[in-house]
Amino acid sequence: MVRANIYDRLSQRREAAEAAARQQAEEARRAADCAMESAPPPSVLPLNAEQNALHIAGLNLQMPESFAFRDIDTTLEFAGCHVQFSVRRRNAPEGLELRDAVELFTRKLRERHTDMTVVRQAEAILAGHSAISLDYQFSAGQERRHGRAVCTIIVSADGNGRQWLNMSTVIDPDKSQLANWLIEFDAMLAGMTA
């Protein structure tokens, strides 16, 4: 009987471990799909463009009622690392579909970051509204960056207009401390309340 050399045996073990990991990931995806199908639909949260507040470090700053935000850009600290977080709100003209709006958003990203690559685009839910989640990568100088944007179009609370809402984050994917940030980001968006 001829015994395979050590490199062949190590390669076989690695391939078996990879196959088991793929099977486990596929089973987890199927279980998540089943759970999503049986879960009740999320409640739809209204958007009131003139009701704004910032809740930071336990302090609540209520904005005057006539004040409506357009852009919020902030730096968060997560696991000792800096993370960019942005929120954008714009009027969305009648007839503008979500997919077309995301295409325009992607085009504007490419204007800012010419080497930007879309990694994944998927249907999502934001505040109970149909949304699109977009993962992308680009370079900032010599460093890589990974961004995730969740975009939706919401009819305002008074029913008089449509609003484009985009919440996004950008991280340095090479920092191991940020390995769970995108999971936390998604959980943060899922926990939005009105």
Strand ranges for 50-141 from DSSP E = 53-56, 59-62, 71-78, 81-91, 117-126, 129-140
- Which segment of 59-63, 87-91, 113-117, 150-154 scores lowest on mean pLDDT? 59-63
Q: Which of 22, 179, 2, 28 is nearest to 14 (CA)?
A: 22
Dihedrals φ, ψ of 77, to 5°? -115, 125
How many Å apart are CA 186 and CA 194, to the nearest integer?
17
Sequence ranges of the domains in the chain: 1-39, 53-190
Q: Provide the CATH number for the domain formed by 53-190 in this structure.
A: 3.40.1000.10
3-state secondary structure of 142: coil
Q: Are 128 and 136 in contact (CB under 8 A)?
A: no
User: For the residues 137-164, what does the mean pLDDT come to?
Assistant: 87
pLDDT digits (tens, 9 = 90+) for 17-37: 777 777 776 777 677 666 656
Name the more confident of 155 and 130: 130
Q: Write down the pLDDT at residue 35.
A: 60
Q: Write down the pLDDT at residue 70.
A: 86
Q: How far is CA 129 from CA 24, 121, 157, in A?
A: 31, 17, 13
Residue 165 has pLDDT above 80, yes or no: yes
The residues, any chain, with a CB within 8 Å of residue 82's CB and separated by 6 or more, are 75, 76
Q: How far is CA 153 from CA 55, 97, 102, 129, 163, in A?
A: 24, 8, 10, 8, 5
Q: Which of 24, 3, 5, 43 is nearest to 194 (CA)?
A: 43
pTM of the model: 0.73
